[in-house]
Amino acid sequence: MFIGNYANTMDNKGRVNIPATFRDALHKDYDDERMVIARDIRDACLRLYPMQEWQFFLDKLNLIPASNPTLRRIQRRVVSSAIECTADRQGRVLLPQSLREHASLSKCVQFAGLSNTVEIWDTLLWQHEIENDAIDSNMLEQLGI
């Protein structure tokens, strides 16, 4: 399970260290170090999927008729942006320029665990998101939280 958030620094080549706790979760919970990193479907960030979770995501998309325009938009924005990778010996992955641009990533990168996936944000955008992201109180009430 991916929980917590961690700041890391991205080098000039676009390499960033995946937090050790998240690499450990990949190994422990999924027994697979492979991951997919793609544009997030809703926000200006990236999303890291363990390979199994990526397959679940694709399976859901495959239930939608190919003629559906929303499906095509998701495929163009998310699926076509995806890269499959594993961390190198130093725990780093290389983020392509197109993904870095989508998420406006600068040197400071924030990793946010969301249970079964991880969001990757520019640290300043992450701080803005956390400070300005209102939580729907009606939804909390429905959930009994």
**pLDDT(131) > 90:** no
pLDDT of residue 139: 75
pTM of the model: 0.91
pLDDT per residue as tens digits for the range 115-129: 999 999 999 999 998
- Give the number of C-alpha atoms closer than 13 A to the C-alpha of residue 45, restricted to the C-beta side: 22
- In the DSSP assignment, the letter for residue 81 is G
- DSSP E strands in 52-128: the ranges are 83-85, 92-94, 108-113, 118-122
pLDDT of residue 117: 98
Tell me the pLDDT band of 39, cut-offs 50, 70 and 90: very high
- In the DSSP assignment, the letter for residue 42 is S
Nearest alpha carbon to residue 122 among 95, 98, 104: 104
The whole-angstrom separation of Cα 102 and Cα 45 is 7
The whole-angstrom separation of Cα 128 and Cα 125 is 5
**CATH number of the 5-143 domain:** 3.40.1550.20
Structure tokens at 69: 């325009």
pLDDT of residue 96: 97
